[in-house]
Amino acid sequence: MLPWLTGKVIKIQDETNATRRFWIQVPELEKFDFSPGQFVTLDLPIHELKNKRWRSYSIASWPDGTNVIELVIVLLEGGLGTTYLFNEVTVGSELTLRGPQGVFTLPQVIEKDLYFICTGTGIAPFRAMVRHILNNNIPHKNIYLIFGCRKCGDALYKNEMQELESQLSTFKYLPTFSREEGNDLVRKGYVHAVYEDICTNNKNAADPFLRPAHFYLCGWKNMIDEAKQRILSLGYDKKDIHLELYG
């Protein structure tokens, strides 16, 4: 079991109306080593029982040799953990954390297309992965980041993702909005239609086989459950699907 560490909040920034970015430094470590896609667990003073106090969040930043990590957190109505983080935590606050944890990480050798499918703050591990691939010139195939939001204002890291798309020719940023109205310039609907269209278009009469792919799913249970079924229906295998469940 990894030891508990003390982190100090060094910066807080609102990303959307209900989403906030927290930068946490771990002074007792020279650098915080982790693999993109991993998470940390916070022990928050919100309950007497340990397992009622623990909240896990994917690391939204990428390994950069420092002892600072970023978390992006959405305020959940009635959520004890996020209410505490939004109302009680300020710059200078200390947080007890453990990590890194998790196996939701990139393959050692990327020999297949990557589909990063997410909703809300589920974009966090994928931001880390794409940055890591770019920063380290890691050989890879196509990368599709399919990000489901309600409205345009909910698109976390939008400008950054668009900039990454211009820097990395193999990277496609594909946000889709379920409740956006009157804007013909954006993709509307849910994430499922987007990856189904790509997979179908990549398979044609001249090449009837599915392109090899890894599907990484991160978000709420309903989205993940439906995506798993749809990906299997396309003809992919269970081993092609990797998931990180929120909530």
pLDDT in tens, 171-192: 999 998 866 666 656 677 788 9
pLDDT for residue 83: 96
Q: Is residue 135 part of a domain?
A: yes
Predicted local confidence at residue 189, as pLDDT: 75
Total domains in the fold of the chain:
2
Q: Are residues 220 and 180 in the same domain?
A: yes
**Predicted confidence band of residue 152 (pLDDT cuts 50, 70, 90):** low
Distance CA 58, CA 42 (A): 11
Residue 205 has pLDDT above 80, yes or no: no
Indicate the residue among 101, 127, 156 that finishes a domain: 101
84 lies in some domain: yes
Question: Quick one: which H or E segment has residue 219?
Answer: strand 213-220
Give the number of C-alpha atoms closer than 13 A to the C-alpha of residue 86, restricted to the C-beta side.
Answer: 19
3-state secondary structure of 118: strand
State the residue range of the domain holding 71. Answer: 5-101
The model's confidence at residue 154, banded by pLDDT at 50, 70 and 90, is: confident
Shared-domain flag, residues 85 and 188 = no
- 221 lies in the same domain as 137: yes
Query: Residue 151 — pLDDT band, cuts 50, 70, 90?
Result: confident
pLDDT band at 243 (very low <50, low <70, confident <90, very high): very high
Place 208 in a pLDDT band, splitting at 50, 70 and 90.
low
pLDDT at 239: 95
Q: What is the mean pLDDT of residues 231-241?
A: 94
Residues 97 and 123 in one domain: no
Residue 10: pLDDT above 90?
yes
Alpha-carbon distance of 134 to 83, in angstroms, equals 35
**Sign of the CA dihedral with 206 first, then 208, 210, and 212 last:** negative
Same domain, 237 and 123: yes
The residues, any chain, with a CB within 8 Å of residue 179's CB and separated by 6 or more, are 150, 151
Q: Say whether both 78 and 125 belong to one domain.
A: no
Q: Are residues 12 and 86 in the same domain?
A: yes
Cα gap 15→174, rounded to integer Å: 19
CATH number of the structural domain spanning residue 36: 2.40.30.10
Q: Give yes or no: residues 54 and 174 share one domain.
A: no
At 95-131, the pLDDT tens digits run 999 999 999 999 999 999 999 999 999 999 999 999 9
Residue 119: which CATH number? 3.40.50.80
Task: Check whether residue 189 and residue 217 sit in a common domain.
Answer: yes
Per-residue confidence (pLDDT) for residue 246, from 0 to 100: 76
Q: For the chain, report the end-to-end CA distance as a whole number of angstroms.
A: 23
Please say which residue of 101, 127, 160 terminates a domain: 101
Residue 107: inside a domain: no
Query: Is the model's pLDDT at 230 over the cut of 90?
Result: yes
- Residue 70 in domain: yes
**Is 53 inside any structural domain?**
yes
Mean pLDDT of 138-155: 86
Residues 97, 117 within the same domain: no
The last residue of a domain, from among 101, 124, 144: 101
Residues 118 and 207 in one domain: yes
Residue 108 lies in a domain: no
Note whether 95 and 50 are same-domain residues.
yes
